[in-house]
Amino acid sequence: AINKEFQKYFKILFGGGSCSLIKMKEAELIADRAQDQHVALDRAMEELAEDRVDEDAQSTTAILKRVKERSDAVAGIDIQATPPGKTLKALNLLSGGERALTSIALLSAIMATNPSPFVVLDEVDAALDEANTVRFANILLELQKLTQFIVITHNRATMERADLLYGVTMGDDGISNLISVALSEIDDQGQTTRR
């Protein structure tokens, strides 16, 4: 379900392309990360030793079967992303902006599949240009039906989609002031009425 939503949001953010989440088994992770091989093997041996001590009565065959089941289980995921006009790439080969968009697509997929009561996003749109910020803000509008968002941002496009803005300003005297504006209270001239 998350993979399906991930593909949907990826296409929205990139205007096309394709992506997928690939389930990785422990053997594949070891092959991909040779330096982690000893750590995973040591962990498996420790677990095997603990199982042997705890369940001394079990046969060696039963223990070996459980070790094989663990190695066949999903141990992680790999993200493959292909922005429009590019070849299939691993996440670490994408540019900073492409990685940010891919991460936003994955987070959006997780929130659409399993929504939280509220989510705090701290400048996730900082690496995005104006057009991509608008796409991101539109996704937030869609997801706000399920989740309440607290978004820390400097981008105008994201702020324009907010219901309520909080900010900190500093006057000539060097004293910080907190302000809040409900965007629903702004009139046609761009003025707000304070109560």
pLDDT at 95: 82
Between CA 149 and CA 117 the distance in angstroms is: 9
- Which string of b and e fits 4-33 if b means at least 16 CB within 10 Å? ebbbbbbebbbeebebebeebebeeebeee
On the question of pLDDT at 29 being above 80, the answer is no
How confident is the model at residue 9, as a pLDDT?
Answer: 93
Among the listed residues 61, 71, 59, the one whose alpha carbon sits nearest the alpha carbon of residue 25: 71
pTM above 0.75, yes or no: no
pLDDT at 176: 92
Residue scoring higher pLDDT (6 or 68) = 6
8 Å CB contact between 136 and 13: yes
Distance (Å, whole) CA 67 – CA 58: 13
Convert the pLDDT of each residue in 77-112 to its tens digit. Answer: 888 888 888 876 777 788 888 888 999 999 999 999
Q: Taking residues 141-163, report their average pLDDT.
A: 90
- Amino acid letter for position 19: C
